[in-house]
Structure 1
Amino acid sequence: MKYLILVRGAAWSAALADEMTSAGVQVAAGGLTGTELARGDLASPPATGFYLLDCASIDEAWGWVAHLRDVEVRPVLDPGGHEF
């Protein structure tokens, strides 16, 4: 199952990305550019990066990033709305 980890603020960690790659759970990772225009709640900081993990469960995905501040873990769905 794939999980998208959205990182906000300064929680991004290249060392963690290397560790997850070595463990074989990281599919992709990257930083995000600043926002030019934002809609909705401006109280939460914009996402600054992401990790895409392939884990057996959401608990496993959370286990990799639980020590980071201000992250969001979301299951990734295929176009039909099914988890993959």
Structure 2
Amino acid sequence: MKYLILARGPWDAHLATEMIDAGVHVAAEGLTGPDLAHGTLATPLVTGFYLIDCPTRSEALAWASRTPDTELRPVEDPGGHEF
């Protein structure tokens, strides 16, 4: 099953390399800063993402826990089914 890890801490390209070596990597990229309008920002900015393919949610959580302040979401196909 595919999972998206949204990172809000420092981007860790080394973690992406470890994901490749473990065979769970689908995609990963660091993001540049966004263009913002004036005002307050309620949540920390996403600094990058990792898309992984893991057999279990617990394995995906283990990968997500390796970077600070992350959010883990299962990915759905266009038909609304998790894959």
Q: TM-score, normalised by structure 1?
A: 0.86
Amino acid at match of 1:57: T
Question: SS at the partner of 2:47?
Answer: strand
- The equivalent of 2:34 in structure 1 is 35
State the alpha-carbon separation in 2 of the partners of residues 52 and 3 from structure 1. 6
Q: Which runs of 4+ in 1 moved over 6 A?
A: none
Q: What is the aligned residue count?
A: 81
User: Any unmatched runs of 5+ in structure 2?
Assistant: none
- The equivalent of 1:7 in structure 2 is 7
Q: Shift of the alpha carbon at 1:34?
A: 1.5
Q: TM-score, normalised by structure 2?
A: 0.87
Mapping of residues 2-81 of structure 1, within 5 Å: 2-10=2-10, 12-37=11-36, 42-81=41-80
User: Any unmatched runs of 5+ in structure 1?
Assistant: none
Q: Shift of the alpha carbon at 1:36?
A: 1.3
Identity, in percent, stands at 63
State the alpha-carbon separation in 1 of the partners of residues 80 and 31 from structure 2. 25
